[in-house]
Amino acid sequence: MDAQQFHTLMNGLTAGFQNLGITFVRQITGMGPLDQVMQYIEGLKPSTHAKVTYQAPNTLEHAITTAIQYDAAMLNNYSASNRPS
């Protein structure tokens, strides 16, 4: 597997886990939009949690977009730093 294939695989996995989290949060009845955001953020890994919290999203969609963008950027940085010279 080359670096591009690895990157594509990891982006797909990240998006899949994000979608699973969204599904669970949206199934909870009686939860307001900010409560949904907070519950979603609580389930993120520490570095992503910190970035999304710093952005202070008002909607679940904004929180999800921020998390996906941050994780993709971190994956790009990881992939670039681990390429053979």
The pLDDT tens digits along the chain (85 residues) read 555 555 555 556 566 666 666 676 667 777 788 988 898 888 888 999 999 999 999 998 899 889 888 988 887 766 566 655 5
- In the chain, the number of structural domains is 1
The domain of 25 spans 3-81
CA distances from 20 to 17, 24, 76 (A): 5, 7, 23
Q: Give 1's DSSP letter.
A: -
Model pTM score? 0.65
